[in-house]
């Protein structure tokens, strides 16, 4: 069984599935992205097809695509998502490897968040300086580089 935790409500999916356009709408990704995810080996199920060959996505497919988009949005490389999808598709017996993969990614995300927090602190400081100078009426004293003609 595929590991899918509760996801945002996407509405009832009919037993026959939904079209690629509807799947794109429900997952928030483009039709092109859905096709790419399949070609790249990121989808853990074989997406059903109609007799005419059109894709039909089931809830399980939409849930997995949501997982992939969240991992991608947090910076996980496609190659790593593909490896994770392969592990999930392989079924039982590799849960420790899946856990290690997710824990490693989590550590990377936390590191990036800490860096972004530091950048945000600098921005907040600069905002405070500008607000203070504007309130004091001496904003014209803020540093501004001047062009020196003798320096290229």
End-to-end CA distance of the chain: 65
Query: Taking residues 98-127, what's their average pLDDT?
Result: 98
CATH 1.10.1660.10 fits domain 1-91: yes
> Which three-class secondary structure state does DSSP give residue 126?
helix
Evaluate if residue 120 carries a pLDDT over 90.
yes
* C-alpha–C-alpha distance, residues 128 and 145, integer Å: 20
Give residue limits of the domains in the chain: 1-91, 95-138
Tell me what percent of the residues of the chain surpass a pLDDT of 70: 89
Hey, what are 26's tokens?
A: 């429900």
Encode pLDDT of 50-85 as tens digits: 899 999 999 999 999 999 999 999 999 999 999 999
């Amino acid at each position: 069984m595929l590991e899918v935790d509760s996801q945002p409500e996407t509405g009832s999916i009919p037993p026959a599935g939904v079209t690629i356009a509807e799947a794109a709408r429900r997952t928030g990704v483009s039709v092109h992205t859905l096709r790419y995810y399949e070609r790249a080996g990121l989808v853990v199920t074989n997406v059903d097809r109609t007799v005419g060959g059109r894709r039909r996505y089931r809830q399980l497919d939409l849930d997995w695509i949501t997982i992939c988009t969240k991992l991608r949005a947090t910076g996980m490389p496609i190659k790593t998502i593909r490896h994770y999808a392969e592990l999930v598709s392989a079924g039982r017996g590799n849960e420790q490897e899946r856990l290690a993969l997710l824990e490693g990614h989590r550590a990377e995300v936390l590191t990036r968040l800490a860096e972004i927090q530091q950048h945000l602190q600098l921005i907040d400081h600069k905002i405070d300086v500008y607000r203070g100078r504007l309130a004091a009426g001496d904003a014209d004293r803020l540093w501004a580089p001047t062009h020196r003609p003798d320096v290229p």
